A and B are shown apart, each in its own frame.
Chain A
Amino acid sequence: MRAGANRQGIELICPAGNLPALKAAVDHGADAVYLGLQDATNARHFPGLNFDDKRLAEGIGYARTRGVRVLFAVNTYPQPAGWAQWTRAVDRAGESGADALILADIGLMDYACTRWPQMPLHLSVQASATNPEALRFYSEHFGVRRAVLPRVLSLQQIERVSADSPVEVEVFGFGSLCVMAEGRCLLSSYVAGQSPNTCGACSPAQAVAWRETPQGLESRLGRVLTDRYAAGEAAGYPTICKGRYRVGGRTYYTLEEPSSLNTLQLLPELAAAGVAAIKIEGRQRSAAYVREVTRVWRSALDRLARDEIAFRADPQWQATLDGLSEGVQTTFGPYHRPWQ
Chain B
Amino acid sequence: MNAVIDQRQRPAGHRPRLALGPVLYYWPREQLEAFYAEVSQWPVDVVYLGESVCAKRRSFGLDDWLAIAQRLEDAGIEVVLSTLTLIEAESELKTLRRICTNGRFTVEANDLGAVRLAAGSGTPFVTGPAVNIYNPRTLRVLAEQGLRRWSAPLELSGQAIAAIQARRPPGVETEVFAFGRMPLAYSARCFSARAANRPKDDCGYLCLDDPDGRLVRTQEDAPFVALNGVQTQSAPVCNLLPEIETLGEIGVDVLRISPQSRGTQAVLAAFQACLERRLAPAEAMEALRRAAPFGFCDGYWRGEPGAAASC
Q: Which residues of A contact B (CB under 8 A)?
A: 77-81, 83, 104-108, 110-111, 127-134, 136-138, 140-141, 151-154, 157, 160, 179-181, 183-187, 189-193, 195, 197-198, 222-228, 241, 244-248, 250-251, 254-256, 334, 337-340
Partner among A79, A110, A133 whose Cβ is within 8 Å of the Cβ of B160: A79
Tell yes or no: B136 within 8 A of A by CB: yes
New A-B contacts (12) at CB < 8 Å, excluding given A180-B187, A190-B184: A79-B134, A80-B163, A106-B141, A107-B136, A107-B138, A128-B111, A133-B113, A152-B188, A255-B189, A334-B188, A339-B189, A340-B188
Tell yes or no: B300 within 8 A of A by CB: yes
Bound: A339/B194 CA distance, A: 10
The SS class assigned to the B binding surface is mixed
CB closest chain-A residue, reference B135: A107
Q: Is the CB of A157 within 8 A of B88?
A: yes
Tell yes or no: B41 within 8 A of A by CB: no
Known: A184-B186, A187-B185. A129 touches B135 (CB 8 A): no
Q: Is the CB of A184 within 8 A of B142?
A: no
Q: Is the CB of B134 within 8 A of A77?
A: yes
Partner among B85, B139, B160, B189 whose Cβ is within 8 Å of the Cβ of A184: B85
Partner among A185, A222, A247 whose Cβ is within 8 Å of the Cβ of B216: A247
Q: Which residues of B contact A (CB under 8 A)?
A: 85-90, 92-93, 96, 111-117, 130, 132-142, 153-156, 160, 163-164, 167, 182, 184-191, 194-195, 199-201, 214-222, 224-225, 227, 232, 234, 299-300, 303-307
Q: Is the CB of B86 within 8 A of A184?
A: yes
Q: Is the CB of B160 within 8 A of A81?
A: yes
Known: A157-B89, A186-B184, A224-B218. A198 touches B155 (CB 8 A): yes
Known: A133-B117, A222-B305. A340 touches B199 (CB 8 A): yes
Least distance between A212 CB and chain B CB atoms (Å): 15
Partner among B160, B186, B199 whose Cβ is within 8 Å of the Cβ of A180: B186
Q: Can you list the 4 inter-chain pairs with the closest CB atoms, starting with the nearest?
A: A107-B137, A133-B113, A107-B138, A152-B188
Q: Is the CB of A192 within 8 A of B305?
A: yes
Q: Is the CB of B87 within 8 A of A225?
A: no
Give the chain B neighbours of A193 by CB distance below 8 A. Answer: 299, 303-305
Bound: A50/B234 CA distance, A: 33
Partner among A79, A131, A180 whose Cβ is within 8 Å of the Cβ of B111: A131
Least distance between A155 CB and chain B CB atoms (Å): 12
Can you report 8 A-B residue pairs in the complex whose CB atoms are below 8 A from each other?
A133-B87, A133-B93, A189-B306, A193-B299, A225-B219, A247-B216, A255-B232, A338-B199
Give the chain A neighbours of B96 by CB distance below 8 A. Answer: 133
Give the chain A neighbours of B163 by CB distance below 8 A. Answer: 79-81
Partner among A153, A186, A198, A254 whose Cβ is within 8 Å of the Cβ of B195: A254
CB closest chain-B residue, reference A181: B186
CB closest chain-A residue, reference B199: A338
Bound: A53/B189 CA distance, A: 41
Least distance between B9 CB and chain A CB atoms (Å): 15
Least distance between A269 CB and chain B CB atoms (Å): 17
Give the chain A neighbours of B303 by CB distance below 8 A. Answer: 193
Give the chain A neighbours of B87 by CB distance below 8 A. Answer: 130-131, 133-134
Bound: A154/B249 CA distance, A: 46
Q: Is the CB of A247 within 8 A of B195?
A: yes
Known: A80-B163, A153-B188, A340-B190. A246 touches B113 (CB 8 A): no
CB closest chain-A residue, reference B234: A190
Bound: A191/B297 CA distance, A: 11
Partner among A81, A110, A138 whose Cβ is within 8 Å of the Cβ of B137: A110
Known: A137-B113, A186-B155, A222-B305. A110 touches B136 (CB 8 A): no
Partner among A77, A152, A187 whose Cβ is within 8 Å of the Cβ of B86: A152
Q: Is the CB of B154 within 8 A of A79?
A: no
Least distance between A255 CB and chain B CB atoms (Å): 6
Least distance between A130 CB and chain B CB atoms (Å): 6
Partner among B154, B156, B164, B218 whose Cβ is within 8 Å of the Cβ of A225: B218
Bound: A244/B111 CA distance, A: 31
Give the chain A neighbours of B155 by CB distance below 8 A. Answer: 186, 189-190, 195, 197-198
Q: Is the CB of A227 within 8 A of B219?
A: yes
Q: Is the CB of B142 within 8 A of A152?
A: no
Least distance between A331 CB and chain B CB atoms (Å): 12
Q: Is the CB of B187 within 8 A of A181?
A: yes
Among B155, B190, B227, max chain A CB count under 10 A is at: B155
CB closest chain-A residue, reference B114: A133
Least distance between A234 CB and chain B CB atoms (Å): 17
Partner among A180, A189, A195, A246 whose Cβ is within 8 Å of the Cβ of B217: A246
CB closest chain-A residue, reference B113: A133
Q: Is the CB of A77 within 8 A of B135?
A: yes
Q: Is the CB of A244 within 8 A of B136?
A: no
Partner among A137, A140, A160, A190 whose Cβ is within 8 Å of the Cβ of B305: A190
Bound: A195/B137 CA distance, A: 21
Partner among A141, A179, A226, A244 whose Cβ is within 8 Å of the Cβ of B189: A179
Bound: A247/B199 CA distance, A: 17
Bound: A222/B133 CA distance, A: 26
Give the chain A neighbours of B201 by CB distance below 8 A. Answer: 337-338, 340
Bound: A151/B186 CA distance, A: 11
Q: Is the CB of A134 within 8 A of B216?
A: no
Bound: A151/B87 CA distance, A: 13
Least distance between A78 CB and chain B CB atoms (Å): 5
Give the chain A neighbours of B191 by CB distance below 8 A. Answer: 254-255
